Structure 1
Amino acid sequence: MFKIIKKEFLSKNVARIIIEAPYIAKSRKAGNFIILRIDKNGERIPLTIADANIEKGTITVIAQKVGVTSHKLCDMNVGDTILDVVGPLGTATHIANVGTVLCAGGGVGVAPLFPIVQAMKFAGNRVITVIAARTKDLVILEDEMREYSDELIIMTDDGSLGEKGLVTLGMEKVIQREKVNEAVVIGPAVMMKFAALATKKYNIPTVASLNTIMVDGTGMCGACRVSVGGKTEFVCVNGPEFDAHQVNFDEMLSRLNAYKEKEATGYNDYLKSLEPILN
């Protein structure tokens, strides 16, 4: 059993949850993720380890209410326990002192970007971070990103916070004014596709984290297979990070839609199961 030590909502549907998991906290690196199962009847879901505290023996995950399990997790309280938490899993981010690193995150993708920003800064890089959301109420980890970034640029679709525009607009402004040695992009697949196209124009080596497509997290289900440079890769065991300029994002977008109907049905069934409790 893994106890929830702290929980807070960063926005209406996004919660930061601190879990007691000393062995994982001791071993995790930027880019690693966990698989958790709330109870014996629950499904397994992958979540990036957003932070860890070795002294306290805790890890931090950030979950967005999307499916049944993420709703259940976000609705749990301090003191509640999670049955299974397995990790750290996945290949850690390659961290090196390369010069100037441009880190771009969209939506809840800002959460897995945070430990990479931290690690890149600790490695001695100049870190410029661009985070984006539809509106200011959906911007997360602003203060944390600012602490570890040499510069933080915030983009919102409606201009309610920072600058108005998409994440790629903020990236382009940075790229056009100074030399960028490496870029990291994490967010919705369509956002990563266009972010990768933006950096490709300038021949900037770019890494994309494809964690959003993972299901089982161990390579057994095959749902997270993607084409990278014409070769089939499994995100959970070979990634989750790949050369963004080699990823077939159109194929990935198509695969992400494969489970939409079943996810919607599962969520509706979950809501129906709550009706007796709510009424």
Structure 2
Amino acid sequence: MYTIRKKQPLNPTVTKMVIDAPFVAKRAKAGQFIILRVNENGERIPLTIEDSDPEKGTVSIVYQIVGGTTMKLNALNEGDSLHDFVGPLGKPSVIDGNKKVCVIGGGVGCAIAYPTAKAFAKAGADVTTIVGFRNKDLVILQDEFKSVSNHYYLTSDDGTAGEKGLVTNKLEDLIAAGEHFDEVVAIGPIIMMKFVCLATKKYDIPTVVSMNPIMIDGTGMCGCCRLMVDGKMKFACVDGPDFDGHLVDFDEAMSRNRAYMDFEKKARDEACNLLNKEVA
């Protein structure tokens, strides 16, 4: 069993948990993920490893409460245990310290962007981070990003946190001001990653994206994480989750993602009804 050592709400819909998982902690690298089950009859869900501590034997995960399983997960508290916690899975991010890199995170995708920025910083790279949220109430991991960044920029759609605008606006501003990046790493909503890639393609900046947002079961069996990369079928959980952003067919990925939204809503509604019955 995998004991929950710490549970920390980051905003109204996003929670961080620190889990006892020594074997995973020893091998975990930036960009990889785990698959967990809340209980014996629960579904498998993949979650990116937000951080790990090999000495303490712990692994941190950050999740958004969006469906039935994440609601059940969030009902657990410190001292409770998860039934399964398997990993690390997926290919680690390629980290090169001899670079000036810009790591861009959007929304809950910042939980994936943070360990990547941290790994680049540890390798000696010059790290600029740009993070974006809808408003100030949804901002997460601000101190963590600042601790691993040479330059940190916060943006929000409504201007209530940091600069008003999108992460792509800030990226274009920095490039226009003379900043040069050897690589851009973008992690967040599919539409955000698409427009980051459109921007970087104009300047011929190599760009890596994490397709973690389209993963459902983490094994490829569900088919949701299929995507076209350079005209070839790939699976985000098996072949990635990191890909060359300039080769990804984002429109096809968004179409597939939308097809599962009704399923997620149904699962969330059913979980709400079940929890209400249990409380009653």
Residue number in structure 2 paired with 1:20: 20
Measure, in 2, the Cα distance between the counterparts of 1:246 and 1:235: 14
User: Comparing 61-70 with 214-223, which one deviates more in the overlay?
Assistant: 214-223
1:232 shift after superposition? 0.6
Contact 1:46 1:216 survives alignment (8 Å): yes
1:15 shift after superposition? 0.4
Q: How does 1:245-264 map to 2 (within 5 A)?
A: 245-264=246-265
1:161 shift after superposition? 1.1
Classify the secondary structure of the residue corresponding to 1:36: strand
Residue number in structure 1 paired with 2:226: 225
User: Comparing 40-49 with 260-269, which one deviates more in the overlay?
Assistant: 260-269
User: Comparing 52-61 with 221-230, which one deviates more in the overlay?
Assistant: 221-230
Measure, in 2, the Cα distance between the counterparts of 1:20 and 1:219: 26
Tell me if 1:196 matches 2:203. no
Contact 2:71 2:271 survives alignment (8 Å): no
Q: How does 1:34-73 map to 2 (within 5 A)?
A: 34-73=34-73
What do you get for the CA RMSD once the two structures are aligned? 0.9
Residue number in structure 2 paired with 1:115: 115
TM-score (norm 2): 0.98
Residue by residue, what CA displacement relative to the aligned partner does 1:18-47 show, whole Å, maximum 9, x if unpaired? 000000000010001000011111110000
Contact 1:98 1:182 survives alignment (8 Å): no
Residue by residue, what CA displacement relative to the aligned partner does 1:231-270 show, whole Å, maximum 9, x if unpaired? 1111001000000011000000000011122221121111
Measure, in 2, the Cα distance between the counterparts of 1:258 and 1:35: 22
Contact 1:214 1:224 survives alignment (8 Å): yes
Measure, in 2, the Cα distance between the counterparts of 1:221 and 1:144: 34
Aligned-partner residue type, residue 29 of structure 1: K
Residue by residue, what CA displacement relative to the aligned partner does 1:83-123 show, whole Å, maximum 9, x if unpaired? 00110000000001242100000000000111110111111
Aligned-partner residue type, residue 219 of structure 1: G
Unaligned runs of 5+ in 1: none
What is the number of equivalent residue pairs in this alignment? 279
1:186 shift after superposition? 0.3
1:277 shift after superposition? 3.5
Contact 2:215 2:236 survives alignment (8 Å): yes
Unaligned runs of 5+ in 2: none
Residue by residue, what CA displacement relative to the aligned partner does 1:145-173 show, whole Å, maximum 9, x if unpaired? 00000010000011111100011111112
Measure, in 1, the Cα distance between the counterparts of 2:95 and 2:25: 19
Measure, in 1, the Cα distance between the counterparts of 2:261 and 2:181: 37
Note closer, same or farther for the CA distance 1:277–1:222 as it changes in structure 2 (3 Å cut): closer
Measure, in 2, the Cα distance between the counterparts of 1:199 and 1:264: 34
Residue number in structure 2 paired with 1:277: 278
Runs of 4+ in 1 over 3 A off after TM superposition: none
Residue number in structure 1 paired with 2:245: 244
Contact 1:16 1:62 survives alignment (8 Å): yes
Residue by residue, what CA displacement relative to the aligned partner does 1:140-199 show, whole Å, maximum 9, x if unpaired? 100000000001000001111110001111111222221111000000000100011111
Residue number in structure 2 paired with 1:124: 124
Contact 1:104 1:184 survives alignment (8 Å): yes
Measure, in 2, the Cα distance between the counterparts of 1:248 and 1:32: 22
Residue number in structure 2 paired with 1:93: 93
Contact 2:226 2:235 survives alignment (8 Å): yes
Q: How does 1:132-171 map to 2 (within 5 A)?
A: 132-171=132-171
Contact 1:98 1:181 survives alignment (8 Å): no
TM-score (norm 1): 0.98
Measure, in 1, the Cα distance between the counterparts of 2:79 and 2:199: 45
1:220 shift after superposition? 2.5
1:273 shift after superposition? 1.3
Classify the secondary structure of the residue corresponding to 1:255: helix
